[in-house]
Structure 1
Amino acid sequence: MSELNSNVPRHIAVIMDGNGRWANERGLPRRDGHRAGAESVREAVDACRELGVEYLTLYAFSSENWKRPKAEVEALMSLLEKFLKDKLPEMLKQNVRLHAIGQLDRLPAKCRKQIDKSINKTASNTGLNLVLALSYGAREEIVDAAKQLAQKVADGELAPEQIDNQLFASHLYTADFPDPDLMIRTSGELRVSNFLLWQISYAELVISQKFWPDFRAADMHAAVAEYGKRNRRFGELK
């Protein structure tokens, strides 16, 4: 991949789709698909570290996922808590810094406690920034930002004409991160599913036909290679 180093995206966002279908094809419970998907997270992190990617945002649990059966939601929360607990020593060793975005107050207390612990323990790390989108929905994020700005206008702290793209973006959950350069979706689905709608305005899209549990480091490298071939014009003539 060395020939593409100058074209490596600074920020990659991933819709990790297909855990359930992967399990169904093998006659396994859906929770086994989620467990298998956790290994793909490790491989994606390793690949991004190797490539020199600065930010990796993973769509781990959407605001719509709360509508799934209670047993599956509980299994996902338990898996998330265990994953973060087990991977904390590895994140510290690999200099990975953890972040989380979304309506985190909706998460179970034990899960939130582990998230906070992992974020605090890795806060001084200077390598890859791993961002987990949890209880996340882009429409909800945009509405939350609009409410904050509306309140500032109502309080006399802000005039409506002062609101521009930069100010609006500074009120999003992702205010501290650059916009994604590349968005990857697995399982062959051709939609963005309420994920980073504001932030991916100019992101390059790569669709993998593989289910997320089958997505490995080589696939991440291939997606970045494809990104390196793109001519990003941002609306200009180039």
Structure 2
Amino acid sequence: MGQSAEHVAIIMDGNGRWAQQRGLPRLAGHHEGAKRIREIVQACPSVGVKHLTIFAFSTENWKRTQVEVGGLMRLFKRYILREAQDLVNEGVRVRFIGDRLRLDKTLIRLMDELEALTAQNAKVHLTIALNYGGRDEVTRAAQRMAGDVERGKLAAKEVTAEVLARYLDTHSLPDPDLVIRTSGEARISNFLLWQSAYAEYEFIDTLWPDFSAGEFTKLLVNFGSRERRFGAIPA
């Protein structure tokens, strides 16, 4: 492999379709998809991925049925409770990004506890985007920055792209090198809009519950062969 992708972000799409193709309720696909997360997280160290960000629930996903949304929220709680100790043992640090205000208090408490429990880990940095939207994130960042300008903590002339980035949910993370979207859809769905300005993209047909560590590795090998110029002319 040539260049390595230190930070990979994944839009985990296709859980519902995977279930429907098998005559199962959509939530069965989400449960199966949750199993893939562990497999991909465990594969990260061997392929040089230090940061993995996954899109678990978007600000637009509230438009789904109450049954599906409620089932997803219960799944998130169970995932945290079930996986917490293994994440600690495997050296995974977990962070959550997104607007927590709409989430219920029990889920927020579990998220806070998992972040604290894994705070000293550094083998893999797993970021879970939950009630996240790229435009919403930039809007909230701009509001916080404007508040600091009003309070005199920041001068308007000091506002730069670098300063704004410090107000984003991802302020402590590097920008993604590679963004993968499963299930055959070729859109970015409001995911890491600011951070992915120069990311490479892979849109693949595989539904998320069928995505494997082997396919993950192949995508990273392909990434290693790409030339990233960031707007410059090749030497």
Aligned to 1:75: 71
Determine what percentage of the aligned residue pairs are the same residue.
44
In the alignment, structure 1 residue 38 sits paired with structure 2 residue 34: yes
User: How far does residue 119 in structure 1 lie from its aligned partner after superposition?
Assistant: 1.0
- Code of the residue aligned with 1:50 in structure 2: it is S
Q: Which residue, out of 159, 164, 167, partners 2:163?
A: 167
Aligned to 2:207: 211
Gaps of 5+ in 1: none
Give the secondary-structure state (helix, strand or coil) at the position aligned to 1:190: coil
User: How far does residue 7 in structure 1 lie from its aligned partner after superposition?
Assistant: 1.8
Mapping for residues 184-195 of structure 1, pairs under 5 Å: 184-195=180-191
Give the secondary-structure state (helix, strand or coil) at the position aligned to 2:44: helix
Give the secondary-structure state (helix, strand or coil) at the position aligned to 1:105: coil
Identify the range of structure 1 (169-178 vs 82-91) with the bigger mean alpha-carbon deviation. 82-91
User: How far does residue 154 in structure 1 lie from its aligned partner after superposition?
Assistant: 2.1
User: How far does residue 160 in structure 1 lie from its aligned partner after superposition?
Assistant: 1.7
Aligned to 1:29: 25
Aligned to 1:63: 59
- Code of the residue aligned with 2:134 in structure 1: it is A
Aligned to 1:138: 134
Give the secondary-structure state (helix, strand or coil) at the position aligned to 1:149: helix
Identify the range of structure 1 (9-18 vs 49-58) with the bigger mean alpha-carbon deviation. 49-58
Aligned to 1:88: 84
Work out the number of aligned pairs and report it: 234
Aligned to 1:154: 150
User: How far does residue 109 in structure 1 lie from its aligned partner after superposition?
Assistant: 1.5
Q: Which residue, out of 202, 214, 221, partners 2:217?
A: 221
Q: Distance in 2 between matches of 1:45 and 1:88?
A: 13
- Code of the residue aligned with 2:122 in structure 1: it is T
Give the secondary-structure state (helix, strand or coil) at the position aligned to 2:5: coil
Give the secondary-structure state (helix, strand or coil) at the position aligned to 1:7: coil
Give the secondary-structure state (helix, strand or coil) at the position aligned to 2:73: helix
Write 1 or 2 for the structure with the bigger share of helix: 1
Per the normalisation by structure 1, the TM-score is 0.96
Gaps of 5+ in 2: none
Aligned to 2:172: 176
Give the secondary-structure state (helix, strand or coil) at the position aligned to 1:177: coil
Give the secondary-structure state (helix, strand or coil) at the position aligned to 1:104: coil
In the alignment, structure 1 residue 15 sits paired with structure 2 residue 11: yes
Q: Distance in 1 between matches of 2:145 and 2:3?
A: 36
- Which consecutive segments of 4 or more residues in structure 1 shift more than 3 A? none
RMSD: 1.0
